[in-house]
Structure 1
Amino acid sequence: MKTSFFSFAKMFSLAAVLLLANALTAQTAADEKTILGMTDKWMEISKLGDANAMTELYADKATAIFFDGTVVNGKEALRETFKVFMANPNPDDTMELDEKSVRFLDADHAVLTYRMHGTTNMGGQKMDWKGVGTAVLVRKGANWLIELNQDTPVMEMPGQ
């Protein structure tokens, strides 16, 4: 009788572990889809030039480091930076994100990496550019928010 009880207990424990693993995988997949969807939302908001909507993707104490090395801390400072940046859009500028990848640090923290490329007009010259970006996200209630965002230009190295 003891043997069958322990066998049942082992099987029950194994089933519980498998169900938990399945639930965690499903949750992670849903969260990954949400985070990757944020990149589409970010691109849409960028095209619309809506600094307020862009700022809502960021946490209150977020930090962003831009291509030119500018470091901006806090949601309100980010809002003002986005307003200035979006005030004079160049309709010929392009930007695309690809090679997006999400890595979960735990249930409430994730790292998003991506590659980006586009064209811009600087000083009357059309310029192609490439970059990589990283965003550290935190779950706040039902939402994922950006705590840190850094975009880094990619330079072609000699001999590559």
Structure 2
Amino acid sequence: VLPAIPAPPARPVTPPSPVPVVPDATGIVTPVPGGIRITFGDGKSDLNPATEAAIRTMARSVVANTTADLNIYAFAAGVPDDPSTPRRVSLSRALAVRAILISEGITSTRIYPRALGASPGPNGSDGPPDRVDLVLAGTNPAAKP
């Protein structure tokens, strides 16, 4: 006699967030032309609930528009004699944002992460060094509204 097969749960289990969300992580969200800017603590890539929610909200606003692509410009503070550390930190930030976008249904082929480290990047030195600019493709976050 085989043992009874357990019944599936009555309601679906919510999958965990693809990236850790730390309640007291440093970070704020501000709008930029065509998207949002997320700041981070020095050397950290942790998201807090507000920053995660902002990424999810933006993802939901573009998921149905199959022609909209997203650029992730990730930056991290650094020093000239160590370009590797800020590049790795910025990559970690870009991948955290990308994971949330994918979990919201945006295919990876529509997401363009750019780990720019301590470089000024496509929008010059506009903004804090520890940030991610998540913008629709073709939008320059340094443009003034």
Decide which structure has greater helix share: 1
Shorter-chain TM-score above 0.5: no
Decide which structure has greater strand share: 1
**TM-score normalised by structure 1 residue count:** 0.30
